[in-house]
Amino acid sequence: MKVMLTGAAGQLGTDLARTLPRESTISLTHAELDIADSRSVRLAFERHAPDVVINTAAFHRVDDCEIEVERAFRMNAFALRALARACRESGAALVHFSTDYVFAGEKTQPYLETDRPGPLSVYGASKLCGEYFISATLEKYFLVRTCGLYGHGGSRAKGGNFVDTMQRLAAQGKPLRVVNDQVVTPTSTSDLASKISQLIQTEAYGLYHITNQGSCSWFEFARAIFEIEGVEPDLKPTTSEAFNAPARRPAYSVLLNQRLKLLGLDDMPAWKDALRRHLAANRKQPCAAQIGSGTLR
């Protein structure tokens, strides 16, 4: 099975490139393939003739999407329509990643794949539009909604992921104010990449929720990072209203891996176990926590 991976230098792309068989994976960075350029997409398909395309490319700076609306929809929606058409014409399957932000966060129980979306932000709306383009164009697709991603590759577009940002700011002795009224499931890109590697071996196409297990607020996530590391920074909870971010976030966006359970594949680790493993690996090697500047969500 020949896999073409887009956005290979990004946070999730980095772990997918490490996880997938190297000899049968074509890993393309944004500089090598811009999915919003239909000509480049066509040439990539002609050159590589993939059996599966795994797309991690997106415009995911949530607050910037509120201003750069056209760019958000170009990258997160219309580029996906062209990519799905190319997959359909070549017979390739498509794996694409969406977000918990397609939901309004009004539930108090985890969202199922069958629950009605209701995005609150331009980012969420653009990602949902991309979902609709794929499902309307292709039969062979894996649409994967996930939540709270962090990984060893960092997230260059955001200047580092949440874990990196917390560690960096704490090391600088800065006070940390993190929202305590948004409940999520932090998810390791390493765990997600391993599950995708399994999933593409099946022909169980469709929409999936894939996250680590359990839930916490962003404040509780930050507190867990420092508890595991034995650090005591100036960390206090705040509210979404006080944080006053341009884009509205759902108050509750925990996802249930229902379709994975039905396939017998839902062995995703608990979020805190995944975090411990991630932090232990960070101690052994330099990580993105030492560079850039990030967002506290």
Residues 145 and 225: their CA atoms lie apart, in Å, by: 24
Q: For the chain, how are helix, strand and coil distributed in percent, rounded to 5?
A: 45, 15, 40
123: annotated active-site residue: yes
Backbone torsions φ then ψ of 150, nearest 5 degrees: -150, 150
**Residue 64 vs residues 109, 134, 194: alpha-carbon distances, Å:** 29, 24, 30
Q: Indicate which residue of 111, 123, 141, 150 is catalytic.
A: 123
Contact 93, 152 (CB under 8 A): no
Amino acid at 105: G
Q: How many residues does the chain have?
A: 297
Beta strands 183-184 and 216-217 are antiparallel
The catalytic site residues sit at 123
